[in-house]
Amino acid sequence: MSSLYDRTIITGGNGMLAKALIRALRQRGVEPIALDRAALDITNIDAVLDVAQERLPTLVINCAAYTKVDQCEQESDLAERININGTANLAAAAKASRVKLVHFSTDFVFNGRSTRPYLPTDPTDPLSAYGRSKLGGEVAVREILRDQGLVIRTAWLYGPGGASFPKTMLDVARAGKPLRVVNDQIGSPTYTDDLAAATLDLLDRNAQGIVHVTNAGQTSWFDFAKAIFEEFDLHPDLQPITSDDWKRMRPQSAIRPAYSVLDLSSFESITGRSMRHWREALRDFHHAA
């Protein structure tokens, strides 16, 4: 019997999240078709349609994205080409192939002025070029695919096999350099393996629309850094700074939301389970690192 996962295409196939999804699918006995940028440029509509015709996917999971938040400020055209046009191309191919597309978005679609965790239905108001480009990708999926699309908003993603905040912190600490980390931005660190498992749980239940998925709990970047060093038994020179301090030090950097915790009730109601706390996930990252 044919399965949703039989011929799963994963774009951005060399990325941190893609690798976690590959591991999760292999645990189910599925060997996905992972396509990196060299194998598929999602900004080329002809290439995207050709791959869909050749590979006949049963599912498309988009992990291809321009995610360098600060660089997006200087390269907003490139960010839009990848995060909006590329996503629209994949949505068009999924529609033509009559298969579901999973697309990952971000907490940065919100302005950070909320006093409670953000619901999927809350108004969006991105503060950065990155946030605007990711919101554009969401809109493309919604307009092109309707109920064939699943948009998963996540936040503060990290895991083995890629660039991430924990890796940066560990590299700097091990190099003996001082660390100044922002203490007035609040969010939820999310472990790639947990997000991958949650994605498959949502697909098992034919989820659609926009769903929020992060690890449970919330913290600041500074307290996240403290937890990382505690987990890895490192004792660097770590001091808190404000977002304004950081902006003065790096005036070209993107503005980030002060509070971007995502409400997980959409995920919980669909799957019937909760996400584990971010601190517990960090322990697994340590063992995997």
- Residues identified as active-site: 130
What single-letter amino acid sits at 169? Answer: M
Main-chain dihedrals φ then ψ at residue 119, nearest 5 degrees? -85, 155
Helix ranges (H only) for the chain are 16-27, 45-55, 69-74, 76-80, 87-97, 129-145, 165-174, 192-204, 221-232, 243-249, 265-271, 278-288
Question: Residues near 231 by Cβ (< 8 Å), separated by ≥ 6?
Answer: 282, 283, 285, 286
Q: Count other Cβ atoms within 10 Å, centred on residue 239.
A: 11
Contact 189/219 with Cβ under 8 angstroms? Answer: yes
- Rounded to whole angstroms, the Cα distance separating 62 from 226 reads 32
Print burial letters for 7-36: b (CB count within 10 Å at least 16), e (below 16). bbbbbbbbbbbbbbbbbbbeeeebebbbbe
Amino acid at 37: R
